[in-house]
Amino acid sequence: MDDLLAEFLTETNESMDVLDVELVKLEQNPNDPELLGNIFRLVHTVKGTCGFLGLPRLEAVAHASENVLGRVREGLLEVSPYAISLVLQSLDQIKSICGELEQTEQEPAGDDSELIAELNVLAEGGAGAAAAPVEAAADPVEAEPDAAMADSGDDVSGNGAIDDGGGFPVAAELLAEYEEATGGQPNGAAVPAPEQAAPEPAAPEPAVGGVPGSLFERLGGQAAIDAVLGLLHEKILADASLAPLFEGIELDQFKLQHSIFFAQVFGGEANYDGPDLATIHAGLAAKGMTEAHFDAVAGYLKASLEGLGVAEAIVGEVLAIVGSTRDEVLKEVEPQAAVAKKPGKPKAAPVEAGPAKEKSVSAQSIRVNVDVLENLMTMVSELVLTRNQLMQIQRAHENSDDFAAPLQTLNHIVSELQEGVMQTRMQPIGNAWSKLPRIIRDLSLELGKKIDLQMLGQETELDRQVLELIRDPLTHMVRNSADHAIEDPPERRAAGKPETGVVTLNAFHEGGHIIIQVKDDGRGLAVEKIKDKILANELASEAELEGLSDSQIQQFIFKAGFSTAAKVTSVSGRGVGMDVVRTNIEKIGGTIELKSVEGKGTAFTIKIPLTLAIVSALIVECAGDRFAIPQISVLELVRSSHQSETRIEMVKDAPVLRLRERLLPLVSLREMLRLEGVSVAPQEATDETDESGTDESGTNESGANEGGVVEAVSDDSFIVVTQVGAHSFGIIVDRVFDTEEIVVKPVAPMLRDIQLFSGNTILGDGSVIMILDPNGIAAGNGEMSLSESALEEQKSVQSADAQERVAMLIFRAAGESPKAVPLALIARLEEFEIETIEHANTRAMVQYRGQLMPLVFFDESQSLRESGRQPVLVFTDNDRAMGLVVDEIVDIIEIELAINISSERVGTVGSAIIANKATDVIDAGYYLTKAFPDWFKNHGNEAFGDSSDRRVLLVDDSAFFRNMITPLLQVAGYDVTTADSATQALEMCEAGATFDIIISDIEMPGMSGFEFAEKIRSEGAWKEVPVVALSSHTAPKDLDRGREVGFTDYVGKFDRDALLQSISETLALGRGAA
C-alpha cells in the first residue's frame, strides 16, 4: 500500500477513536471550548488530508460534519444529541469508507448525499435559528464562517466603504443589489434586513424605476465575467509584486469563486450564499496584502474590463463593488493570527497548529512499526536466555572469577534492557476503552436509559498484545451491562435508585497482574431467570440446581451453551455469550469472577497477566520428556506413592486422588500425550513440592516433610493440581523440576491444532520445551464437569458460611496427645540435622539463615531426637526467629472452630476436637516469650517506628482469635485492648476510652461488625477512628458491604501480614491527613 495512504489510514483511525470519545464528552460538557476546538481540529485534519490524497467521498463527508462543528464552535448551533448523533454517524461513515480503502486501496463507490444533506440542513438550520444577519449568506458547503466575517457587513457600512466608492458613478440600484447580496446595511438606509428581503428580492428598490437589466446582464453574462477574470488573473500573475500573494493558492478554484461571486452579485441574486470577497481574499490578506496591492488589482480589473470594451459606467459599477470590499479585505491583515487558524480554503491551511503543548509531546514520540518492537522483544528474550546460560556455566566453574564481574554487569544491563523493551510494549488500558463511551452513549439513546460510564485507572499499563486480546471481551461486557443490567429510568426510580445508572470500569495493578473490574448498579443477575434458561438449555437438571447456591447458579452464564447464540469464535456483537468472554480471557492466562446481587448490580473482576511475553512456568517431566505448565494455573503439588496416604486410586479407569476430603479427578499426562516409554525413576529428591505446596495453601504430608529424601520408587509420581476456571484437576507427571521464567513462543502452524500446547519455548539450557495448556487439557478430557466441582465448591462454601474454618497444623510434642497451632502463625516448617543443633548456655540453638535461632521445648520432659532430623516449627518476626521443637508433624487440617477454652495450663489456648481427637491448641505467644522474653517489647519500635504508642482496640467474640491476634499485634508493637463484643466496645467508647484504630470481627453474636461500624461512624467520639474489618471470608460481597458501612479496610482473619500492613497503612494515612 502506498505509504502515504497507510499513514493516512492509521492516523484517521486514531483520530476517529479519539473523536468518538471526545464527542461523547462534548455532549456532556457542551460549553467546553477546548474540547470543541480539539474535535474541530481533528475533523478538519481528516478533511484536509482527504482532499490532499484525492479522496472526494471522504472529504465530502468530513467536510459536512466539519461544517456542523464549525457552527457549534461559533455558538450558532446548540450541542444537541441529534447533532452529536449525526456527526457520529458521519464518523462511522468515514470509518467504513476507510475500512474499504484499507482493503482495496480505492475509495469505494457509494452515496453519502443523504447524510451530507442532513448535516447541511443541521448546519443551516442552526444558522437560521441564530438569526444573525450575515449567517444567511454563509456557505454551508465551502467556507469556515468566522467571527471576522460575521462582522463584515457592519464593517462595510461602518467604515463608509460604500461611500468611498462614491467616486465612481454609483447607481442606486446597484448599491441596493449589493447590500442585499452581502447582507450589509448602509448607514441609516431603509434597506430591510436580509432575512426579510430574501423572500422578495426586487421589491424595495428605491431610486430607479425601470431597471435596465441587472449588472450581470449588462456586463455580458457569465462568459464576459469569466473573460474578465481570465484577463485579470493573467495580469495579476504577471505582476511580480503580486505573484507572491498567490503562491500556494489554487488559482482555478480561486477564479471559480470569483466568477460565482461576480455572477451572482452582479446578477442580483438576493440570497447569494457563497463566500463574499473578503472570505475569498482572506488568504491573501493573511499573506500581507496591502492597500497598494489591492489598488493594483483594482487597476488590473479596470483595465481588463476596459480591454473587453465594457462601457465606462459599468466598469465604474464593478469597481465600486470591488472597491467596497477593499477595507474588509485589507482589514483581515490585522487579525491575521485568527485568520491563519481558520482554514479559509482547504488548501490554504490544511493543517492547523495544535496547542503548543501537544506539539512538544508529539515531538518526543515517534511512530514505530509493531513488528520492529516485536523483533526487538524477541531479541531481548534471546539475550536473556543466553545470559541465563552464561550464568549457569559460570556457576559450574566457580573458580573462573575473571568472568564473574563482567557477567554481573551483563546481568544488570540485560535486565534493564529487558525492562526497557517491555516498557515499549506497554500501553495504557484506556486505549482499549476508547470506544466504550461511544457505545454507552449510543446504547443509552437507543434504549432510552440514562447511563454514566465511569472509567478509572485508564493509565494502567499493560502489554499491547494483552490489550488487544482484552479489548473485545471488555467491550462486550460493558455493552452487556448497559444493555441488560441497567434499568430504564422509571424502573430505577421505582427501585429507589437514581435515574442514571452507573457502569464503572476500574483497572489497577496487583501483584504482577492487572485487575479490571466492570461494575454496574443495575438489576443484577436474576437467579430465577437463569435457572429457567439452564433448564431450557438442559445444562443441568432441576435436582442439581436445587443444591446450588445463588452465586453458583449465576456462574452458569459463563458456561458454553448458556447463551442462546451458537458458539461464536470472536466476540463481535450482541448474542455472544459470556462463555466466549471467559474463554478469551482464559486464553491469555486470565481469570474472571462474577458477583451479582439481584437488584443491586453486578461486578466482574478480571485478572490478567501484565504480559504474555514472559511467564513463570513449572517444568515437569513425563516419560523422559520435559514440559512446562504455566505457574498461574498451578495450585499446588502433591507427591503420591503407594506407601503414603496420598495415593492414586482408581474408580473404574478414572484415576482420582483424595485431597483434603475431596476427590480430585486426575489426568495422566502420559496417556494424554500418548507418550510411550518407560517411566524414568526419579534420581534425586526435589523439594519443589514445598515451594508451591506448603507455603501457599498449607497442604500435604510430603510438603511438610520437606527436605526428606524422596525414595526412588518407580511408582512415585507427582500430581500437579491445576485450576481451570472454577474447577480443579490433577495432572500426573513423573517428576517436577524447577520453575523457570519462559518466553512463550507460538508453535509452528502445523502444530496449532494440538490443543494441549499453548506454545513452546527455549529453556535456559538451550533445549526446546513444549508448554502445556491446562485449558486444553481440561477440554481434552471432555467436560471436567462444572456441576461436579461446583458442588464440591459449594460444600466448602456452605460450611465456611456456617462456621469459620481455620487451617491448623497438627503435631505431637511432649506427650501423645496431639497439639495444634494455627498455620497462619507459622513461618516455616523445618527439619534440622541433630548434629547441627548447638547448645549454648543450656539453651539449644541452631544456625538458621545466618543467625542463631533459639529452639524452645514444650516442657522439660521433651528432648531432642537421638539422631536424624528434628522437626521444628519456625516462628519469625522481622529479624528474629524462634524454633518450637516438636516430635512429629502430623497433618494440616482445616477445621471448624469449636474450642473449649481452658486456661488451666500455661502455653495452651484451650482444646478442640480435631479429627475426632481432643487436641490442645497451643498459645504461640507464650512460647515466643520463652525464646525472647522481650519478644513483645521494645523491638517493635525498631521495626514499626512509633507504632508502640498506637492503641488498638480488638473486638472479637471468639476468645481464640483474641488470643491469636493479640500477640500478633503486640509483636508489631501495638498497645492492644480487647473487647469480646461490640456492645462492650461501645461501652468503652462511652466511658471515654480512645484508640487510634479499631479492628473488629464481622460475625459476632448480638451486634455484628457491620452494625458496629455503622454505629460508631454515625455518632460518638469514635466517629473518625479508622475501623478495619476482620473476617474469615473476604468475599468481595462482604468487602463492598464493609466499605459501605464505613470500614476503612477489610482483611482476612488469617492473613497476618495483610492485617499488620493494613493497620500500619491506615494509621499512616490518618497521620498524613491529620
Instruction: Choose the stretch contacting another protein; rule: CB under 8 A; options: 322-330, 515-523, 751-759, 846-854.
Output: 751-759
In the complex, least distance from residue 672 CB atom to another protein, rounded to whole angstroms: 8
Question: Considering only residues 761, 929, 1000, 1064, which one is a binding residue for another protein as defined by CB under 8 A?
Answer: 761
CB of 616 closer than 8 Å to CB of 741? yes
Written as one letter, the residue type at 23 is L
- Interface positions, 1023-1042, toward another protein (CB under 8 A): none
CB of 839 to another protein, least distance (A): 53
Give least dist CB 766 to another protein, A.
5
The secondary structure element, H or E, covering residue 495 is: none
Total of chain residues touching another protein, rule CB under 8 A: 29
Confirm or reject binding of residue 782 to another protein (CB under 8 A): no
Shortest Å distance, C-beta 1038 to another protein: 45
Q: Does 745 engage in binding with another protein (CB under 8 A)?
A: yes
> Within 13 A of 196's CA, how many CA atoms are on the CB side?
7
Identify whether the C-beta of residue 535 lies closer than 8 Å to the C-beta of residue 548.
no
Distance CA 962, CA 966 (A): 6
Determine, following the binding rule CB under 8 A, whether residue 762 of this chain makes contact with another protein.
yes
Q: Which of 769, 790, 955, 1025 binds another protein (CB under 8 A)?
A: 769
Q: Is 756 in the site for another protein (CB under 8 A)?
A: yes
Determine if 375 is a binding residue for another protein (CB under 8 A).
yes
Q: Which ranges in 887-958 belong to alpha helices (H)?
A: 924-931, 939-944
Bridge partners (DSSP) of residue 936 are none
Q: Nearest Cα to 460, choosing from 503, 422, 426?
A: 426
How far is Cα 1024 from Cα 997, in angstroms, rounded to an integer?
A: 9
**Candidate ranges 138-146, 327-335, 370-378, 913-921; the one touching another protein (CB under 8 A):** 370-378
From the list 96-104, 463-471, 668-676, 869-877, the region that binds another protein by CB under 8 A is 668-676
CB of residue 780 to another protein, shortest distance in Å: 10
Cβ-based nearer residue to another protein, 750 or 991: 750
Residue 748 interacts with another protein (CB under 8 A): yes or no? yes
Question: Can residue 417 be called a binding residue for another protein (CB under 8 A)?
Answer: no
Q: Is 674 a binder of another protein (CB under 8 A)?
A: yes
Interaction between residue 766 and another protein (CB under 8 A): yes
Nearer CB in complex with another protein: 280/618: 618
| β-pair type (1049-1052, 1027-1031) | parallel
Of 284 and 744, which CB lies nearer to another protein in the complex structure? Answer: 744
User: What residues have CB less than 8 Å from 786, skipping those under 6 apart?
Assistant: 555, 559, 725, 726, 727
Closest CA to 148 of 419, 428, 339, 376: 339
Cell of 77: 448551533
Binding another protein by CB under 8 A: which of 14, 226, 239, 374?
374
Helices (H), 287-435: 291-307, 312-324, 326-331, 336-341, 356-364, 370-396, 401-425, 430-433
Contact residue for another protein among 58, 162, 770, 872 (CB under 8 A): 770
Stretch of 38-46, 590-598, 702-710, 754-762 contacting another protein, by CB under 8 A:
754-762
CA end-to-end span of the chain: 62
Q: Is 478 exposed, middle or buried (0-12, 13-18, 19+ CB in 10 A)?
A: buried
> Which one among 14, 205, 625, 788 touches another protein, defined by CB under 8 A?
625
Interface stretch with another protein, choices 275-283, 310-318, 379-387, 945-953 (CB under 8 A) = 379-387
The yes or no reply on residue 751 touching another protein (CB under 8 A) is yes
- Give the shortest CB-73-to-another protein separation in angstroms: 48
- Contact between 106 and another protein (CB under 8 A)? no
Query: By CB under 8 A, is residue 378 in contact with another protein?
Result: yes
Q: Which span (165-173, 473-481, 744-752, 796-804) binds another protein, by CB under 8 A?
A: 744-752
What is the dihedral sign for C-alpha 799, 803, 806, 810? negative
Residue choice 673, 731, 855, 1045 for contact with another protein (CB under 8 A):
673
Between residues 231 and 762, which has the closer beta carbon with respect to another protein?
762
Select from 87, 385, 539, 732 the one that contacts another protein (CB under 8 A). 385
In whole angstroms, how close is the CB of 417 to another protein at the nearest point?
A: 15
Window of 748-756, 805-813, 828-836, 1006-1014 that interacts with another protein by CB under 8 A? 748-756
In whole angstroms, the minimum distance from the beta carbon of 753 to another protein comes to 6
Which CB contacts under 8 angstroms, 24+ apart, belong to 687-691?
Answer: 688/618, 688/637, 688/736, 688/737, 688/738, 688/739, 689/637, 689/638, 689/639, 689/718, 689/736, 691/739
> If we measure between CA atoms, which residue out of 958, 925, 954 comes closest to residue 1063?
954
Tell me the C-alpha distance between 685 and 706, whole Å. Answer: 10
Residue of 376, 675, 791, 993 interacting with another protein (CB under 8 A): 675
Run of H or E residues at 952: strand 951-955
What lies within 8 Å, CB to CB, of 1066 at 6+ separation is 997, 1026, 1028, 1048, 1049
Segment interacting with another protein (CB under 8 A) among 84-92, 757-765, 811-819, 984-992: 757-765
Cβ atoms 605, 515 nearer than 8 A: yes
Nearer to another protein, 355 or 766 (CB): 766
Q: Counting contacts by CB under 8 A, is residue 760 touching another protein? A: yes
Which ranges in 481-620 belong to alpha helices (H)? 489-494, 527-536, 542-546, 550-554, 578-587
The single residue among 570, 767, 842, 867 that binds another protein, judged by CB under 8 A, is 767
671 contributes a contact to another protein by CB under 8 A: no
- 356 versus 748: smaller Cβ distance to another protein: 748
Residue 308 main-chain phi, psi, to 5 deg: -90, 5
- String of b and e for 32-63 (b: at least 16 CB within 10 Å)? eeebbbbbbbbbbbbbbbbbebebebbbbbbb
CB of 769 to another protein, least distance (A): 6
Residue corresponding to grid cell 491444532: 753
What region does 195 belong to: left with phi over 0, alpha with psi -120 to 50, or beta?
alpha
φ/ψ of 392, rounded to 5, equals -65, -45
Query: Mind giving me the DSSP string for 306-345?
Result: HHTT--HHHHHHHHHHHHHTHHHHHHTTTTHHHHHHS-SS
Stretch that binds another protein, among 462-470, 524-532, 690-698, 756-764 (CB under 8 A): 756-764
Question: Which lies closer to another protein via its Cβ, residue 78 or residue 382?
Answer: 382
Alpha-carbon span 1021 to 1018, nearest angstrom: 10
Contact positions with another protein (CB under 8 A) in 850-909: none
Q: Which three cell numbers stand for residue 705?
A: 516433610
| Least distance in angstroms from the C-beta of 390 to another protein | 14
The single residue among 109, 240, 366, 750 that binds another protein, judged by CB under 8 A, is 750
CB of residue 374 to another protein, shortest distance in Å = 7
User: Is 991 among the residues that bind another protein (CB under 8 A)?
Assistant: no
Q: Among the candidate windows 85-93, 334-342, 641-649, 670-678, which touches another protein by CB under 8 A?
A: 670-678
Q: Is 382 in the site for another protein (CB under 8 A)?
A: yes
Q: Are 871 and 842 in contact (CB under 8 A)?
A: no
Query: For another protein, which stretch binds (CB under 8 A), given 248-256, 279-287, 506-514, 768-776?
Result: 768-776
In the list 511, 749, 782, 992, the residue contacting another protein (rule: CB under 8 A) is 749
Q: What angle do CA 524, 529, 534 make, to 5 degrees?
A: 120
Binding site for another protein (CB under 8 A): 374-375, 378, 381-382, 385-386, 625-626, 673-675, 745, 748-751, 753-754, 756-757, 760-762, 766-770
